[in-house]
Amino acid sequence: MIPDYQSAWYDSSGHNFGTPALQSGIAMGFCAEAVPPADLTAVSNVLLEDIVVTHNSHVSTGILGVPLLLQMLSNIGQPSLAFDLVSTKDYPGWGYMIFNDIEPATTLWELFNSPFRGPGMNSRNHIM
pLDDT score of 97: 83
pTM of structure? 0.83
DSSP letter string over 66-107? HHHHHHHHHHTT-HHHHHHHHH--SSSSHHHHHH-SS---SS
For residues 37 and 64, membership in a common domain is answered with yes
Q: How far apart are CA 27 and CA 80, in angstroms?
A: 17
- Within a domain: 97: yes
Assess whether 40 and 71 both reside in one domain.
Answer: yes
Q: Give pLDDT, residue 75.
A: 96
As a whole number of angstroms, the distance between CA 51 and CA 62 comes to 14
- Whether the predicted pLDDT of 30 surpasses 90: yes
pLDDT of residue 103: 75
Are 97 and 87 in contact by the 8 Å Cβ rule? The answer is no
Residue 68 in any domain: the answer is yes
Question: Would the pLDDT of 124 be above 80?
Answer: no
Task: List pLDDT tens digits, range 109-123.
Answer: 777 776 666 555 566
The count of structural domains within the chain is 2
Q: Which domain holds residue 124?
A: 88-128
83 in a structural domain: no
